[in-house]
Amino acid sequence: MSAKAFDAIVIGAGQAGPPLVGRLEAAGMNVALIERKFIGGTCVNTGCMPTKTMVASAYAAHLARRAADYGVALSGPVGVDYQRIKARKDKVTNDARGNLESWIAGMKGCALYRGHARFESADTVRVGDDLLTAPKIFLNTGGRASVPDLPGVHDIPYLTNSSMMDLDVLPSHLIVVGGSYISLEFAQMFRRFGSEVTVIEKAPRLTGREDEDVSAAIQSILENEDIAVHVGADDIGFARKGNEIAVTFSAGKPPAVGSHVLLALGRVPNTDDLGLDKAGVKVDQHGYIVVDDRLRTSVPGIWAMGDCNGRGAFTHTSYNDYEIVAANLLDNDPRKVSDRIEAYALYIDPPLGRCGMTETAVKKSGRSALVGQRPMTRVGRAIEKGETQGFMKILADADTGEILGCSVLGPGGDEAIHCVLDLMYAKAPISTLARAMHIHPNVSELLPTIAQELKPLT
């Protein structure tokens, strides 16, 4: 069989794939886009869009239950219709995926192939009965939930972040194994839907990449909503108990028994079944594709973007990967991965916005630093909204004034963090933030005040 020739092949239609196809096609290239499941990848189908839609429903239920706090009287108890919540979530996802599919279908220079792509050589890919070749191949194959081989795990009907999206019944008791970002979003939203929720984490604290004060505040927020949290759990195992599931942990502690178990124990890249060895593409010990600062793999003419390259685990890092590749290939703009600043959010309520270095990382660096902090109980906007959990913290270099990092855990934290992130990209000193006039009343208006009150980090 002779291979069909293209100018470029893009494998995976997640956050980086379709926009890159659009740029390449607009530049006059004939492009093949290969997707084995859903257009839009994790974000559109099982990640950001559906989960944040459900988070919004959970917030509405939570606020309704607090109506009396705001002087609002309801005629009866607040109920949750999980079928309607799921239908709303499905519509948001299906609309987004449909819009992407229509956009791709309108590209005259793009051929969409549905199926599993595997390399046969460094410039040739097979999809079912089709053989495709191109001098440029871009990988955007994403990742999936990790399922460690824990005792009894394969004897129970566990859920992952993906299969949670298909759940059509509200768990009576959801046991979440894992205490990081995905797990905590699900824990809080299902508690607000009415499920009993237990979180079991093997590490000494939740969200281990955050500073200890941030982790402690997050745990307090969850426990204030009657979510049971167990940290430092070892010897985690699973067993059926009638129609329920028992999760054992930490000798001497009673097992958690629930109706459903969600495993949220990290992610692994979708690279093990691409035939990368036939192309000569190197991967690291965890299966991530090794790339340089411009996202080129070990093989000339092959690039890797998004979760499969291990250089970021978020939708925004995947999209930024596309921007870096397109800038270098099409715009003569030498953008690099190392130019970007780490930034992300945790979408519990209130949300956490994070950018740059943590306090722990600054201390390890040995540099002289300043820190400023303010609890949400001293932020007017948070008080007015009746949402005073959390705090803000800013770190700066004591010698140069360089802004090193920021955490905003509180109402609008996922938006307010950009006040600091953008200044960091502009390489503006902390004095710029201190002199800025922000709008009142707002959570972010206190960031300049914090910048004026920095003290030595000890």
CATH number at residue 452: 3.30.390.30
How many CB atoms sit inside 10 A of residue 12's CB?
28
DSSP state of 306: G
Shared domain for 10 and 140, answered yes or no, is: yes
Number of structural domains in the chain = 3
Q: Are residues 135 and 87 in the same domain?
A: yes
Residues 232 and 284 in one domain: no
Give yes or no for residue 1 having a pLDDT over 80: no
**82 and 52 housed in the same domain:** yes
* Domain closes at, from 322, 339, 356: 339
Average pLDDT for 342-359: 98
Enumerate residues 6+ apart whose C-beta is below 8 A from 242. Answer: none
Q: Is 440 a catalytic residue?
A: yes
343 membership: H or E segment, kind and range: strand 343-346
Q: Residues 252, 103: one domain?
A: no
Here the tokens at position 252 are: 């001497």
Which band of pLDDT confidence, cut at 50, 70 and 90, is reported for residue 301?
A: very high
Please check whether residues 368 and 417 belong to one and the same domain.
Answer: yes
pLDDT per residue as tens digits for the range 242-282: 999 999 999 889 999 999 999 999 999 999 999 999 999 99
DSSP 207-266: STTS-HHHHHHHHHHHHTTT-EEE-S--S-EEEEETTEEEEE-STTSPPEEESEEEE---
Task: Tokens for 110, please give them.
Answer: 């793009």
Which of 186, 192, 190, 188 is CA-nearest to residue 78? Answer: 192
Task: Report the pLDDT value the prediction gives residue 372, as an integer from 0 to 100.
Answer: 98
**Does residue 241 share a domain with residue 160?**
yes
- Residue 235, sorted as left (phi over 0), alpha (psi -120 to 50) or beta, turns out to be left
Per-residue confidence (pLDDT) for residue 2, from 0 to 100: 83
From the candidates 116, 154, 173, 440, give the one annotated as an active-site residue.
Answer: 440
Tens of pLDDT along 225-251? 999 999 999 999 999 999 999 999 998
pLDDT of residue 356: 98
Q: Which domain holds residue 124?
A: 4-144+268-339
Give the residue-averaged pLDDT of 208-216. 98
CATH number at residue 217: 3.50.50.60
Q: Does residue 18 share a domain with residue 129?
A: yes
Looking at the structure, tell me whether residues 275 and 305 fall in a common domain: yes
74 DSSP assignment: -
SS (H, E, C) 111-124: EEEECCEEEEECCE
The alpha carbons of the chain give a radius of gyration, in whole angstroms, of 24
Give the Cα separation of 66 and 321 in Å (integer).
42
Task: For residue 4, count CB atoms less than 10 angstroms from its CB and return exposed for 0-12, middle for 13-18, buried for 19 or more.
Answer: middle
Neighbouring-strand partners of residue 372: 394
| CA dist., res. 330 & res. 108, Å (int) | 19
Alpha carbon separation from 28 to 21, 111, 133, 140, 419 (Å, rounded): 11, 14, 17, 21, 38
Place of tokens 């379709």: 18
From CA 8, how far away is CA 302, in angstroms rounded?
Answer: 10
DSSP calls for 2-24: PPEE-SEEEE--SSSHHHHHHHH
Report whether pLDDT(402) > 70: yes
Residue 54 pLDDT: 98
% the chain with pLDDT above 90:
98
For residues 348 and 294, state if they share a domain.
no
Return d(Cα 322, Cα 138) in angstroms, integer.
10
What's the pTM value of the predicted model, to 2 decimals? 0.95
Domain final residue pick, 339, 356, 389: 339
Residues 57 and 135 placed together within one structural domain of the fold? yes
- Quick count: other Cβ atoms within 10 Å of Cβ 284? 12
Cβ-proximal residues to 447 (8 Å cutoff; 6+ apart), any chain: 392, 394, 406, 416, 419, 420, 433, 436, 438
The closest of 75, 86, 68, 69 to 164, measured between CA atoms, is 86
Yes or no: say if 119 and 33 are a contact pair by the CB < 8 Å rule. no
Residue 175 sits in the same domain as residue 123: no
Average pLDDT over residues 364-371: 97
Tell me the per-residue pLDDT of 59-108, one tens digit each, with 9 for 90 and over.
999 999 999 999 999 999 999 999 999 999 999 999 999 999 999 999 99
Q: How far is CA 328 from CA 23, 179, 324, 335, in A?
A: 12, 38, 6, 6
Total residue length of the chain: 458
Angle, CA 360 vertex, CA 356 and CA 364 arms, to 5°: 100
3-class secondary structure, 446: helix
To the nearest 10°, the Cα dihedral for 432, 438, 442, 446?
40
Residue after which a domain boundary falls, among 265, 287, 314: 265
Closest residue by Cα to residue 273 from 308, 302, 240: 308
For the chain, give the mean pLDDT: 97
Q: What is the pLDDT of residues 11-32, one digit of tens each?
A: 999 999 999 999 999 999 999 9
| Tens digit of each residue's pLDDT (9 = 90 or more) over 110-166 | 999 999 999 999 999 999 999 999 999 999 999 999 999 999 999 999 999 999 999
